[in-house]
Amino acid sequence: MEIRRSYRYALRPTGTQQRALVAQLDAHRVLYNSALDHRRTAYRMAGVSITYYDQARELGAIRVGNPQQKACNHSSQQHTLRRLDRSFQAFFRRIKAGQEPGFPRFRGRNRFRTLTFTHGDGATFTETRTSPLRHPFAATVKIQGVGAVPLVYHRRLGEREGGQMADPVRIGTVEIIRTGDHWEAVFSCTLTVPTPKDAYPTLPATGIDVGLEHYASLADGEQVPNPRFLRKSMGEVKRLQRKLDRARKDRAAEKRAAKKRETAVVTARVAGKPIPPTPPVEVWVSTRGKKRPKRTAERRARLLSRAVARRHEKIGNQRAFFQWHLARSLISRFGLIAVEMLKRRNMARRPKKKLDEAKTKDAGQPVYAPNGAAAKSGLNKSIYDAAGGLFVQRLSSKAEEAGCLIVGVRAAGTSQECPRCARKTPKTLDERWHTCPCGCSLPRDVAAAQVIRARGLTSVAVSAA
C-alpha cells in the first residue's frame, strides 16, 4: 500500500547560504508579482484570461534576458507560477460560489516564504551514515545555487512509528520555507508500506465529538480536556499584542513629531529665523543604573511584532504535537472512529454586516446594526482552538496505515438527538446535559459522540451491504 507522508526538518544554513536563499526567495517573489501583474493587466485592458501554460511558455524568454531569474532553478520557477495559478483558481471558484473574495495580492517580503522544488531537480536529499552511536545518520539537502545545507536530522526520512523504515520512499517535492528567523525543509513523500489488516471489528468502534468545553468527547464517556498550554500561550499573545498596539501608536506619534519638526526647520530657514534646537535623546536607565538611548517606537514595534509571530508559531507547534499525540492514542485503541463532517467555515464565519436603514438616513452615512460580531468572535477563537478540521485531517492521515477506519458522518443535529431512543431532544448551546424521558442521562457531548458513532456504524453497514 502506498501512503503519502511529509517530513519536516529544521535547516542549519551558513550565513552565505542564508543570503543565497534570501536572494532566491526574492527572485521568486519578483517572478510571482510580475506574473500576477501580467494577468491583472491583461484582464483589465482586454478582458483576457492568461493561463499557467501561457506564463510557463514565456518563462524561457524571461530567463534569457534576466540574470536574476536565470540563476534560479527552472522547474522551481514553474512551481511558483503554478502557485499563482492556484490562487487564481481559488479566487474564481469563490466568485462562482457567490462569495466576495479579494483579488490575489502582490506579495511583500514577509508574505513570500516558500521555494518549491521537484526533488532531484534543483534540490536533492542525501543521507549519510556517521560513526557515532547516538546519531548514526546525518542528512543534507543540496539546493541549486546554495549548496549542501545540513538538516537537523531528528528522525530518518521514511521512518514510521515504532522505528521501522518504509521501503521504498519516493520523494516528490521539496519545500524550503522561511519561518520567522529560521529555515525548514519539507519533503513530501510516497511510502510503500505493508497493507494493514482491518482493525475493526477486532478493536471497538467509537464516535468523537470535537467541542469547546472539552477538546474531544468519546462515545464511551471519556472526555479529553482542553490542553492548558493553549490558554496560557493565548494569554501571552494577548499581552504582547497589547504592547505591540501601543508601540505602533507611539510610532505614529513619533512620525508626526518628526514631520512637524521638519516643517518647523524649513519655515525657520525660509524666514531667516534661528533653527529650533534638536530635541535631546531620551535615555533609558536600568534599575542597576545602566544607561542607553531609549529604543525608538519604531524599533520596539519591530521587536514586538517578531515576538508575536514567534509566539503564534509556538502555539501552532504545540497544537500540532497535542493533536498528533491524541490521534495516535485513539488509533491504537479503536478500529473505527466516526467523526462529524464539520462545516467549520460556516461556523467560524464572521456574521454578515446589516445596514441599519433608519439610522443611515438620519446620519447620512452607513450605520451598521449590532450583529453580535464581538460575541461571536470569542466563540470563533474557541472553534479555531479546537481546530476540529485540522485534527480530523491529522487523525485520518495516521489511521490509514494502521487499518483504522475513519467515517465522516452528517453533522446536522447530533446534539439534538437521544442516542438511546433516537427521540428529538432540542437543546440550546448552554444546556450541557442530555436528559431524555427514556431515562438516558449523559453529558451533552458524550451523547453527541454516541449519536455520531451510531451514524458511522449505519453508514458502514449500508456501504457493505
Residues within the interface to Zn ion (CB under 5 A)? 418, 420-421, 423, 436, 438, 440
Alpha carbon separation from 158 to 3, 7, 84, 175, 399 (Å, rounded) = 11, 8, 30, 17, 17
User: In whole angstroms, how close is the CB of 435 to Zn ion at the nearest point?
Assistant: 9
Helix, strand or coil, per DSSP, at residue 321: helix
When the beta carbons of 146 and 446 are compared against Zn ion, the nearer one is 446
Judged on CB neighbours under 10 Å (0-12, 13-18, 19+), 9 is buried
**Nearest-angstrom CA–CA distance, 405 and 401:** 10
**Pairing relation of β-strands 137-143 and 291-293?**
unpaired
Min. distance of Cβ 438 from Zn ion in angstroms?
A: 3
In the complex with Zn ion, the residue whose CB is nearer, 5 or 453, is 453
How many CB atoms lie under 10 A from the CB of residue 155?
11
CB 142 within 8 A of CB 123: yes
CB of 426 to Zn ion, least distance (A): 13
CA-nearest of 30, 184, 20 to 109 is 30
Strands (E), 131-204: 137-143, 147-150, 169-179, 182-192
Q: Which one, 268 or 422, has the nearer CB to Zn ion?
A: 422
Contacts of 332 (CB under 8 A, 6+ apart): 402
For Zn ion, the closer of residues 341 and 438 by Cβ is 438
Question: Do 219 and 449 contact (CB within 8 A), yes or no?
Answer: yes
User: Residue 208 Cβ, how far from Zn ion at the closest point, in Å?
Assistant: 21
We find the least distance from the C-beta atom of residue 394 to Zn ion, in angstroms, to be 34
Nearest CB to Zn ion, comparing residues 387 and 418? 418
Helix H or strand E segment including 9? strand 2-10
Residue among 358 and 438 whose Cβ is closer to Zn ion: 438
CB of 441 to Zn ion, least distance (A): 9
Residue 279 or 439 having the CB closest to Zn ion: 439
Contact 193, 166 (CB under 8 A): yes
Residue 241, amino acid? Q
Instruction: State the minimum distance, in angstroms, from the CB of residue 52 to Zn ion.
Output: 56
For Zn ion, the closer of residues 189 and 451 by Cβ is: 451
Min separation Cβ 404 and Zn ion, Å: 30
- 441/439 Cα distance (integer angstroms): 6
Cell reading at 424: 428529538
